[in-house]
């Protein structure tokens, strides 16, 4: 656990993190930003945003030439939702946030056109946007999801097949809108996917953002949420199942930047098999204007076998004293033997009891998606992951 | 008629301070239909007996045997014991996040019967049992024991007892932490299961008050890891008046 800034020198419990003697006194909001990859130094792997990642496995995406042409995108039909392509200099690009690291900036520098998903209309609807057939060429992509004021929708951004992709996804949630975005990574075993999501949430609007990472050799999805106006609300959820040799990472940032904003961050993951790896970094910044903020972030990992590693780093930075609540929790544990005993004492065989507990652990996140069909499909996908044991 | 026999049972538990001997030669025979109360002071080993019968890995049997109709229970895994007809109502039932009561009950019933219950009669049985235990229907969709009050957890244990229909049930301090209304509801459930299925019951308790609602055929006083005295229901009345003091005295005199 570490803090990226010291609000007051005498703040209770602050001390150096075990991996370095110095607590960096830099607020998250002052991190360097640029859309131009040339503004970022080459990656060494020692940077705080890269130190947990296997950077050598995707040097082509962070410093190489990228194919920025349109990727194959298919969207299901839903009234009030449209998909189109807009040029990179369109005014609708760059409103939710800009890159803070090199992979993101490389994508931004290279993409040709952005896919624009526009959501309108107050009725609830679901649309699935599937990216497939990206192949093994290093690629850049840019997506803008825009929810009009008071609109409501669930947008699933799904990735299947092969991919070597670095991309940016902007999510603009208009006043009073209620948007759910599910980023679903079901890539093939050798795929690499680096993504930065930038969300800007307007007045009294709500975003439910869910990252589900199941397939891919290296998958790194970093969602940043800017609670920009009064009453903005984000529910940031994540679910990952890391198998042998898989690296699944998420760096979550929530910036409370207006009064009476609320955030809940819940990421849960299971790790199974030699070299299964997960990284979760959760930064919450409560700015000095964000009075009445209510914030809580947590990460839970369930370790199923030996040879796995889960890194979990929550950071909380508070610049105002007038908040409703702010807290964080992180726990990485093995199987709870008492849960197994309870289920077995009711006649349920051990292997089935284990599956029930793991499925239950992860289902807590699935249950919150709010789309029965997708929830069922994910439960089946998790079931398949568990069978792999 | 089924019979559960516990013979000269010695049980150790590993602690940070080393091996501790908890049960020191327990002999007990329960026949189907009988209700036995085991009463004893805190730390006498009552719960150890309950968990050892169920097969909790924390407890090591060093001597003696447990037989169910002549079959060696100690060689069975925890789930095999349950499928053989044994049931433990736990003192502190654990939470199972993300697993609903409905899903859990159906999975357990399927495992115990060896086949899935017919949907229509099963739903009716579950609903009926829940109504009898004054559990509202929303309960079924909650995650097992998650956020349950003490009383709800105990009702949920008895709900399972009624639905899974074991031959023998060990109730480990099912009465502890219950107010009188909840105690009555839970006791009614145990009595209902007893009259419906004729199971044998081992009722472990620290207090005599549950014995006002569940009438034991036999009462055993458990002290320092074994049965110090046994008798009929009248023994419970005597304990209510005198407490466990005289057993402590007797125990320390022999050491």
Asked whether residue A161 carries a pLDDT value surpassing 80, the answer given is: yes
| A14 or B120: which leads in pLDDT | B120
Query: For A358-373, what is each residue's pLDDT tens digit?
Result: 988 998 899 899 899 9
The residue in chain A having the minimum alpha-carbon distance to the alpha carbon of residue B85 is A347
Chain A contact present for B156, CB below 8 A = no
CATH (one of 3.40.50.280, 3.10.129.10, 3.40.50.150, 3.40.50.300) for B3-93+166-254: 3.40.50.300
Whether the CB-CB separation of A137 and A165 falls below 8 Å is answered with no
Order of strands across the sheet that contains B3-15: B18-31, B3-15, B59-68, B71-72
Instruction: Please tell me the predicted confidence (pLDDT) of residue A26.
Output: 65
Which has the minimum average pLDDT: A110-119, A124-133, A332-341?
A332-341
Per-residue pLDDT tens for A288-303?
A: 999 999 999 999 999 9
More confident: A36 or A355: A36
The mean predicted confidence, pLDDT, of chain A is 91
Q: Does B99 touch chain A (CB under 8 A)?
A: yes
Give the residue-averaged pLDDT of A7-12: 38
Angstrom distance (rounded) from CA A92 to CA A172: 9
Which of A338, A347, A369 has the highest number of chain B CBs within 10 A, making it the mutation to test binding with B? A347
Domain residue spans of chain B: 3-93+166-254
For residues B82 and A350, the answer to whether their CB atoms sit within 8 Å is no
Strand partners, A209: A181, A236
ipTM value for the complex = 0.95
Read off the pLDDT band of A18 (50, 70, 90).
very low
Give the separation between CA A192 and CA A57, rounded to whole angstroms.
8
Residues 6+ apart with CB under 8 A from B181: none
Distance between CA B198 and CA B33 in Å, rounded?
A: 5
Residue B64 pLDDT class (50, 70, 90 cuts): very high
**pLDDT over 90 percentage in chain A:** 82
* Cα dihedral B14, B19, B20, B23 in deg (nearest 10): 80
- Per-residue pLDDT, A278: 98
Torsion sign, CA atoms B205, B207, B208, B209: negative
Is the pLDDT score of A6 beyond 70?
no
Section A172-196 average pLDDT? 97
The answer to whether B163 faces chain A, any CB pair under 8 Å, is no
Tokens of A6: 């010291």
Residues in chain A with CB shorter than 8 Å from the CB of B164 are 346-347
pLDDT value at residue A145: 98
Mean pLDDT of A256-278: 96
Q: What contacts A70, CB < 8 A, 6 or more positions away?
A: A85, A112, A113, A115
Which residue of chain A comes nearest to B114, CA vs CA?
A347
- The pLDDT value recorded for residue A29 is 80
What residues of chain B, 20 to 59, have a C-beta less than 8 Å from chain A?
Answer: 54-57
The stretch A93-100 carries a mean pLDDT of: 96
Q: How far is CA A376 from CA A77, A243, A360, A379, B98, in A?
A: 21, 21, 13, 5, 14
Provide the pLDDT for residue A13.
40
Assess whether pLDDT exceeds 60 at residue A51: yes
Rounded CA gap, B243 and B226, in Å? 17
User: What tens digit of pLDDT does each residue of A22-42 get?
Assistant: 445 567 888 899 999 999 999
Q: How far is B245 from chain A (nearest CA, A)?
A: 34
Return d(Cα A250, Cα A67) in angstroms, integer.
24
């Amino acid at each position: 656990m570490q803090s990226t800034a010291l609000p007051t020198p005498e703040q209770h419990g602050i001390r150096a993190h075990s991996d370095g003697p110095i607590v960096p006194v830099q607020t998250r909001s002052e991190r360097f930003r640029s859309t131009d990859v040339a503004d970022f130094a080459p990656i060494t792997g020692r940077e705080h945003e890269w130190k947990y990642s296997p950077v050598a496995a995707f040097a082509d995406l962070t410093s190489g030439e990228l194919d920025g042409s349109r990727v194959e995108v298919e969207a299901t039909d839903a009234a009030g939702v449209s998909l189109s392509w807009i040029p990179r200099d369109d005014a609708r690009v760059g409103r939710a946030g800009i890159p803070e690291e090199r992979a993101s900036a490389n994508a931004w520098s290279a993409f040709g056109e952005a896919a624009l998903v526009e959501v309108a209309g107050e009725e609830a609807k679901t649309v699935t946007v599937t990216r497939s057939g990206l192949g093994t060429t290093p690629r850049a992509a840019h997506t803008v999801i825009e929810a009009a004021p008071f609109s409501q929708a669930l947008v699933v951004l799904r990735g299947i097949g092969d991919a070597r992709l670095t991309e940016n996804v902007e999510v603009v949630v208009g006043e009073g809108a209620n948007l759910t975005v599910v980023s679903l990574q079901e890539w093939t075993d050798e795929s690499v996917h680096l993504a930065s999501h930038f969300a800007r949430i307007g007045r009294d609007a709500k975003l439910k953002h869910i990252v589900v990472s199941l397939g891919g050799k290296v998958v790194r999805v970093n969602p940043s949420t800017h609670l920009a106006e009064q009453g903005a609300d984000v529910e940031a959820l994540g679910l990952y199942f890391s198998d042998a040799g898989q690296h699944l990472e998420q760096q979550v940032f929530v910036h409370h930047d207006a009064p009476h904003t609320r955030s809940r961050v819940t990421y849960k993951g299971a790790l199974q098999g030699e070299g299964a790896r997960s990284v979760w970094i959760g930064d919450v910044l409560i700015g000095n204007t964000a009075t009445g903020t209510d914030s809580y972030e947590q990460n839970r990992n369930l370790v199923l076998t030996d040879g796995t590693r889960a890194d979990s780093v929550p950071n909380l930075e508070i610049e105002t004293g007038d908040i409703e609540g702010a807290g964080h929790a992180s726990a990485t544990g093995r199987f709870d033997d008492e849960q197994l005993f309870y289920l077995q004492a009711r006649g349920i065989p051990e292997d089935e009891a284990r599956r029930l507990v793991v499925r239950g652990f992860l289902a807590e996140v699935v249950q919150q998606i709010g789309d029965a069909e997708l929830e069922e499909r994910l439960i089946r996908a998790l079931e398949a992951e568990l069978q792999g044991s | 008629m089924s019979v559960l026999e516990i013979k000269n049972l010695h049980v150790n538990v590993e602690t940070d301070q080393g091996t501790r001997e908890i049960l020191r030669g327990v002999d007990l025979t329960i026949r189907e239909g009988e209700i036995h109360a085991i009463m004893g002071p805190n730390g006498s080993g009552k719960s150890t007996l309950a968990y050892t019968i169920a097969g909790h890995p924390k407890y090591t049997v060093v001597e003696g045997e447990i037989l169910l109709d002549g079959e060696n229970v100690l060689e069975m895994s925890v789930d095999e014991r349950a499928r053989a007809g044994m049931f433990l109502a736990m003192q502190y039932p654990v939470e199972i996040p993300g697993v609903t009561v409905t899903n859990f009950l159906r999975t357990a019933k399927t495992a115990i019967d060896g086949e899935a219950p017919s949907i229509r009669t099963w739903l009716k049985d579950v609903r009926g049992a829940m109504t009898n235990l004054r559990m509202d229907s929303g309960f079924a969709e909650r995650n097992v024991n998650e956020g349950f009050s003490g009383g709800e957890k105990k009702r949920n244990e008895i709900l399972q007892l009624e639905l899974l229909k074991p031959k023998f049930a060990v109730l480990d301090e099912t009465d502890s932490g219950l107010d009188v209304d909840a105690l009555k509801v839970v006791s009614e459930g145990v009595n209902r299961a007893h009259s419906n299925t004729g199971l044998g019951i081992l009722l472990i308790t620290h207090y005599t008050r549950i014995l006002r609602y569940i009438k034991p055929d036999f009462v055993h006083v458990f002290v320092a890891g074994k049965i110090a005295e046994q008798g009929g229901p009248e023994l419970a009345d005597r304990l209510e008046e005198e407490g466990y003091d005289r057993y402590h005295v007797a125990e320390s005199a022999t050491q």
